[in-house]
Amino acid sequence: MEWWQVLVSVLGGLMVLWLALIGVLFWSSRGQADTIKLVDALRLGPDVVRLTRRLSIDPTLPRAVRVWLIVLLVYLLLPIDLVPDFIPVIGFADDAIVVALVLRFATRHAGADALGRHWPGTPQGLKALRTLVGLG
């Protein structure tokens, strides 16, 4: 695999993850008085990456949670995916699913307070992430 194919795969996976998170943000705020700002939606992807890094280095969290988060960060950086990216739709969606599952595991074992304590973004973004990982 050429270097540019690896780069396109990583960027494509991150883009699909970002779009999935933005979709959850819009879905979770429907019917509410709070309006979603474009800047909040654009920050969601980078905020999740920063959250994952912050959680992975927090010594107060269980070791298993930190290990899974580090594995998640490595998985996102590697060009190898569970489902190859050349398969339409699900090829890029596997990254979003893996992120949601690992963050769900991490938040259920670390606690919702750890998620809130380390969240670098807006309250609307945190609410969307909580919805994504099943914390309501």
**Residue whose entry in the numeric block shows the structure tokens 């930190």:** 66
Residue 4: pLDDT above 70? Answer: yes
**pTM to 2 decimals?**
0.66
Q: Which of 3-12, 17-26, 70-79, 117-126 has the highest mean pLDDT?
A: 117-126
When pLDDT is cut at 50, 70 and 90, the band that residue 48 belongs to is: confident
33, 36, 65, 83, 134 from 30: Cα distances, Å: 9, 9, 32, 32, 17
Q: What is the per-residue pLDDT across 49-89, written as a single tens digit (0 to 9) for each?
A: 888 889 989 999 999 999 998 888 888 777 777 777 667 66
